[in-house]
């Protein structure tokens, strides 16, 4: 998978999970302690988030990120135990 595809899949997936979480972009960015406009650019695939920001987003969604393998798995009690962030899955469907 190309880097641009990974960024696009990540942005789309966190947007879907944020909406499921019930937050506006502004409220969610504040919860993550990320600038609202920067967070919006991450969702629109216009910014490449740092590992720190990926971890903050995963925390706010209630999932634990496994960055070394490129897959985020539910930590239990998150948005939904069947939800996961997968930067390798361009379909961005729940796993």
Q: Give me 91's structure tokens.
A: 């379909």
**Structure token pair of residue 84:** 């996961």
Question: Is the whole-model pTM more than 0.85?
Answer: no
Give the H/E segment covering residue 66. Answer: strand 63-66
- List the domain boundaries for the chain: 3-74
> Taking the CB of residue 79, how many other CB atoms lie within 10 A of it?
20
Phi (first) and psi of residue 62, to 5 degrees: 80, 25
Work out the burial of residue 87: count CB atoms within 10 Å of its CB; fewer than 13 is exposed, 13-18 middle, 19 or more buried: buried
Question: pLDDT digit of tens for each residue in the chain (95 aa)?
Answer: 688 888 999 999 999 999 999 999 999 999 999 999 999 999 999 999 998 999 899 889 988 665 544 554 555 555 554 555 554 444 443 33
C-alpha to C-alpha distance for 88 and 28, rounded to whole angstroms: 24
Topology given in CATH for the domain delimited by 3-74: 434 Repressor (Amino-terminal Domain) (1.10.260)
């Amino acid at each position: 998978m190309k880097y641009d595809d990974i960024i696009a899949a990540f942005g789309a997936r966190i947007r879907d999970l944020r909406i499921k979480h019930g937050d506006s972009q502004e409220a969610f960015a504040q919860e993550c302690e990320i600038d609202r406009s920067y967070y919006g650019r991450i969702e629109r695939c216009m910014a490449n988030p740092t590992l720190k920001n990926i971890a903050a987003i995963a925390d706010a969604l209630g999932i634990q990120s496994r960055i070394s393998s490129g897959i985020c798995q539910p930590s239990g009690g998150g948005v939904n135990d069947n939800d996961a962030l997968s930067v390798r899955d361009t379909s961005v469907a729940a796993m």
